[in-house]
């Protein structure tokens, strides 16, 4: 079967549907654009049996997932990676040999990594694909076989629900706190009873009481029978310090299912976001919860002044006119003020995101940020004397 083209013309959903319907065996190559990776998917009879990713930056995604989920320590992973350089064995197999993980746990993370990779393909809008119809060249699958139909259904469901979930959990640095406990621990028998009760609710005799019996009485009391297993798993990980990214990693549910559980817990009143937002290690503006570090800022200004003075002496020794020297000084000052303004705007933008998470919308004016204790008034006063221009319509804003 000759199948080749671009994702813009033929999306991943249509490709999977075709392969699954015809129960094809072969390899599907999907190559994204820019910094995205090439994904190779092996099929046997229309079922996914192996997925490999050619990463641009040579990362070890499986090892990173194991460390993030606190299954292995960073030292254990580094030890396995050191052996891998000599033996070329997979890191997962080495961790099993070291006794750091079991083969069952290793398979669980392989399956999770595979599904996360495949679901990301549904979000790709650009790239190329090519299907080669040929038998696999390996002895056994490295993942639990996945039918194209189930993968397609889950991918379409994710595409439908993900935009709404991402509006609610828009930043993986948001920290959550619990508002109440889950008092009821639903047994399997109770869960089956609730599912059957919901499925046949339309056939209930209208002469019965509105609660419909014992099972409906439980739900009416506000018990936690409406929470799914994923909801309970994520709830058990919330401690008021872990941010959303950590909850995703520790839950082992994948990004979509974990975020969906967080949204459901918020809607049911079990959790709420707190003010603290964990700063990214590479954030240029630093933590938005801190006031401006004026001693450090003054030190930087003094350093800049010294550099400018040295540059002035150097320029004076050059055969330049007075006008050229003045123009050079003006350009240097302009560049400095531009950088300072950009850094402060980044801090204000981060504070706006925290305010939106807490209040559900962006503030009408920037004074609300200082009143909420997110930034100090000094941050809103730009070094060039120009005011910050801010405008919002509740769901978006313009800042310059």
Higher pLDDT among residues 340 and 8, named by residue: 8
The Cα–Cα gap between 164 and 217 comes to 31
Q: Quote the pLDDT of residue 374.
A: 79
Q: Quote the pLDDT of residue 100.
A: 93
Q: Quote the pLDDT of residue 296.
A: 45
Instruction: Specify the DSSP element, H or E, that contains 252.
Output: none
Give the mean model confidence (pLDDT) for residues 326-335. Answer: 49
Locate tokens 């300072």: which residue? 340
Q: Quote the pLDDT of residue 383.
A: 58
Give the mean model confidence (pLDDT) for residues 344-348. Answer: 76
Please state, in angstroms and as integers, the Cα–Cα distance from residue 258 to each residue in 110, 262, 319, following that order: 18, 6, 66
Q: Quote the pLDDT of residue 339.
A: 52
Q: What percent of the chain has pLDDT over 90?
A: 28
Higher pLDDT among residues 324 and 7, named by residue: 7
The Cα–Cα gap between 190 and 218 comes to 10
Higher pLDDT among residues 116 and 287, named by residue: 116
Q: Is the pLDDT of residue 293 over 50?
A: no
Q: Which letter does DSSP use for residue 243 in this model?
A: B
The radius of gyration of the chain from alpha carbons, rounded to an integer in Å, stands at: 28
CA 60 to chain centre: 18
Q: Quote the pLDDT of residue 61.
A: 81
pLDDT-based confidence at 355, cuts 50/70/90? confident
Q: Quote the pLDDT of residue 177.
A: 93
Higher pLDDT among residues 58 and 358, named by residue: 358
Q: Is the pLDDT of residue 278 over 70?
A: no
Instruction: Please give the mean pLDDT across all residues of the chain.
Output: 75
Token representation of residue 205? 């005799």
Give the tens place of pLDDT for each residue, 40-93.
999 999 999 988 887 644 567 888 899 999 999 999 999 999 999 999 888 899
The Cα–Cα gap between 241 and 84 comes to 35
How many other CB atoms sit within 10 Å of the CB of residue 356?
A: 19
Q: Is the pLDDT of residue 236 over 90?
A: yes
Higher pLDDT among residues 321 and 113, named by residue: 113
Burial 236-275 (b: 16+ CB within 10 A, else e): ebbeeebbbbbbbbbbbbbbbbbbbbbbbbbebebbebee
Q: What percent of the chain has pLDDT over 70?
A: 65
71-85, 102-116, 234-248, 320-334: least confidently modelled range: 320-334
Token representation of residue 316? 């004076």
The Cα–Cα gap between 398 and 400 comes to 7
Closest CA to 72 of 96, 108, 55: 96
Higher pLDDT among residues 318 and 99, named by residue: 99
The Cα–Cα gap between 67 and 109 comes to 11
User: Is the distance from CB of 66 to CB of 95 less than 8 angstroms?
Assistant: yes
Give the tens place of pLDDT for each residue, 105-159.
999 999 999 999 899 888 888 889 999 988 877 656 678 889 888 898 998 899 8
pLDDT-based confidence at 238, cuts 50/70/90? very high
Q: Which are the contacts of 136, defined by CB distance < 8 A and separation ≥ 6?
A: 25, 27, 42, 44, 49, 50
Higher pLDDT among residues 378 and 76, named by residue: 76
CA 115 to chain centre: 15
The Cα–Cα gap between 255 and 91 comes to 23
Higher pLDDT among residues 96 and 296, named by residue: 96
How many other CB atoms sit within 10 Å of the CB of residue 235?
A: 22
Instruction: Specify the DSSP element, H or E, that contains 59.
Output: none
pTM equals 0.60
pLDDT-based confidence at 217, cuts 50/70/90? very low
């Amino acid at each position: 079967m000759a199948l080749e083209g671009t994702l813009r013309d033929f999306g991943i959903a249509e490709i999977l549907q075709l392969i699954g319907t015809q129960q094809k065996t072969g390899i599907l190559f999907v190559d994204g654009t820019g910094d995205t990776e090439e994904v190779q998917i092996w099929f046997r009879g229309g079922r996914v049996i192996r997925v490999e990713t050619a990463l641009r930056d040579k990362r070890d995604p499986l090892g990173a997932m194991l460390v993030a989920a606190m299954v292995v320590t960073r030292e254990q992973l580094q030890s396995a990676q050191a052996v891998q350089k000599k033996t070329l064995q997979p890191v997962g197999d080495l961790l099993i040999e070291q006794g750091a993980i079991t083969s069952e746990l290793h398979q669980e993370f392989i399956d999770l990594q595979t599904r996360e990779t495949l679901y990301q393909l549904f979000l790709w809008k650009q790239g190329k694909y090519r299907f080669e119809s040929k038998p696999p060249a390996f002895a056994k699958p490295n993942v639990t076989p996945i039918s194209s139909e189930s993968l397609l259904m889950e991918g379409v469901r994710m595409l439908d629900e993900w935009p709404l979930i991402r509006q609610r959990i828009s930043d993986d640095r948001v920290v959550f706190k619990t508002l109440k406990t889950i008092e009821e621990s639903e047994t399997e028998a109770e869960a089956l009873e609730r599912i059957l009760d919901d499925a046949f609710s339309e056939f209930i005799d209208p002469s019965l009481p509105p609660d419909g019996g014992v099972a409906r009485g439980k739900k009416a009391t506000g018990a936690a029978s409406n929470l799914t297993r994923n909801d309970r798993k994520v709830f058990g990980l919330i401690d008021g310090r872990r941010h959303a990214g950590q909850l995703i990693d520790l839950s082992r549910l994948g990004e979509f299912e974990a975020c969906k559980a967080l949204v459901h817990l918020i809607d049911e009143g079990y959790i709420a976001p707190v003010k603290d937002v964990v700063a990214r290690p590479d954030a240029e503006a630093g933590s938005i919860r801190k006031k401006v570090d004026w001693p450090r800022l003054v030190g930087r200004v003094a350093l800049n002044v010294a550099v400018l003075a040295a540059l002035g002496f150097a320029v004076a020794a050059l055969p330049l006119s007075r006008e050229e020297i003045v123009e050079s000084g003006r350009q240097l000052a302009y560049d400095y003020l531009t950088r300072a303004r950009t850094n402060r705007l980044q801090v204000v933008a981060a504070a706006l995101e925290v305010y939106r998470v807490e209040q559900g919308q962006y503030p009408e004016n920037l004074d609300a940020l200082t009143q909420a204790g997110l930034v100090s008034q000094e941050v809103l006063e730009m070094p060039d004397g120009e005011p910050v221009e801010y405008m919002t319509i509740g769901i978006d804003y313009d800042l310059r």
